[in-house]
Each structure stands twice: as C-alpha cells, then as structure tokens.
Amino acid sequence: MSKATIVGLVLSAGFSLSACATQDYVDKHVATVQTQVTAVQTHAQAQDTQLSQLDQTSRDALERATAAGKLAEGKFVYSMVMSDDSAHFALSSSTLSSDETARLDDLVNRLKTDNKNVYLEIQGYTDSTGSPDANLRLGSDRAEAVRRYLSEQGVALNRMSTISYGEDKPAVPNNTRAGRAQNRRVVVVVLN
C-alpha cells in the first residue's frame, strides 16, 4: 500500500474514533441532564397535585362555613349582658350577687313565658387584670356560676353551654376602673 493510502486510513480511523468518543461523551452528559429534567418535572407535578388538594380542601372548608352560617341565620333571639352598674362581678370573683340572681330570675321567667325551646350560650369575660390563662379560667368560672344558677331554677342543663373568652373581647377599653368593671361580665345569648 502506498504511504498516502496508509496515512488516509490512519486519519480516517482517527476521525472515526474521535467522533465516537465525542458522541459517547455527549450521550452520557445528555442522559445526565435528561435525568435531572425528568426529576424536576416529577417534583413539579407532585407540587401541582398537592396544591390542587389544598385548593379543594380550602373550597370544602369555605362551603362548610357558608352552610353553617346559613344554618345559624335567624337563630339568634336576644342576649342578656350581666355587667353595668346594677350587676357585675367583683375583681377576681365568680360569685353571683343578689342583683345578678334577680336579673337571672327575670331571664328564667322570660324563658318560661316566651319560649321553652331555646338554647343558651353563656359567655364568660374578664378585664385585662391578671394573666391570660387565669382570665380564661375566671371567665369559665363566671359562666359556670350562671349555668349552675339557671339549672337550679329549672333550666335544663342540656339546653345550655358555656364558653370563656377571658380578656379577649372587651366591651370597652380596660384603661379605667369603670371600663374594667364593665368587662367583668357574663353574656347569656338566647338562640332558637
């Protein structure tokens, strides 16, 4: 064979081998990148699925809240606030005064004459004096004192519930003695 043919064959073989090495190198890197792209797409699809589920959960919660609101419409009859100058709780006390029991007696008589098929939500409140935990307990004690008294007067226990808001929902600012006295209260909400 001639030298030119041999050189041509060697060059040709060299180009073939370098092309194969280059192609093999590219294939390996493309495969790595493709694997990473696939992983990102899978993660994005999982996040889309999770967001869809959260969105559906939010819609379900909104529907339940709307339904509860519609159910509660028209159910409120009236409320009685046990506070003001004639009847209020002393500082750190859940003891009912004679003025408070007289007002509760009026409520019992009204319940007996107006409508026996009502439900009472008895809400206990405090002023901002003391710790939040202590105020929640005190608000609960005040509401329970009213519930016990109403039960003793013949109101069925299964028609009453109590809840304490403690210092969370003041009727007036707590920055004066009179304001704090008004916030030491129980509200009896009458529901039909």
Q: Could you tell me the residue ranges of all domains in the chain? A: 1-73, 75-191
Nearest to 89 by CA among 79, 99, 78, 75: 99
Right CATH for 75-191 from 3.10.560.10, 3.30.1330.60, 3.40.30.10, 3.40.50.150: 3.30.1330.60
The DSSP call for residue 19 is: H
Return the higher-pLDDT residue of 111 and 8.
111
CA 70 to chain centre: 19
Order of strands, edge to edge, in the sheet holding 76-82? 76-82, 186-191, 119-125, 160-166
Residue 167 vs residues 27, 116, 130, 131: alpha-carbon distances, Å: 70, 32, 9, 9
Which one of 77-81, 113-117, 135-139, 170-174 scores highest in mean pLDDT?
135-139
In 3D space, the residue among 121, 123, 124 whose CA is nearest the CA of residue 138 turns out to be 124
* Confidence class for position 149, pLDDT limits 50, 70, 90: very high
29 compared with 73, residue with greater pLDDT: 29
